[in-house]
Amino acid sequence: MFVFVKAKLIFHVTLDKKNMGICAVELETKSSKLIVLSLYRVPTGDFNQLIKYLDDGLKYLYKPKVELLICADINTDYLIESY
């Protein structure tokens, strides 16, 4: 069982409500840290922009010894080319 001692919003960005949004939160227990990155892309959103912001976000958030959990709804049909 995890008992979170501290929770902190790292960033929240909405990139045009018709495109995508990204948010990161840091959760800390007495013995560990966890960063949760949440990402949403509307089905008609720019896939290349999504990849750029995901890459930038991961570079910004990466820290040794901190667990990172990515939750995303990228609305991509893998059976067709979407970018």
Question: Region 3-29: what's the mean pLDDT?
Answer: 84
pLDDT value of residue 76: 79
The pLDDT assigned to 4 comes to: 67
- Give the three-class secondary structure for 8: strand
pLDDT of residue 79: 77
Q: What is the mean pLDDT of the chain?
A: 84
Per the CB < 8 A criterion, the answer to whether 33 and 62 are in contact is no
E strands, the chain, in order: 6-15, 20-28, 33-41, 67-73
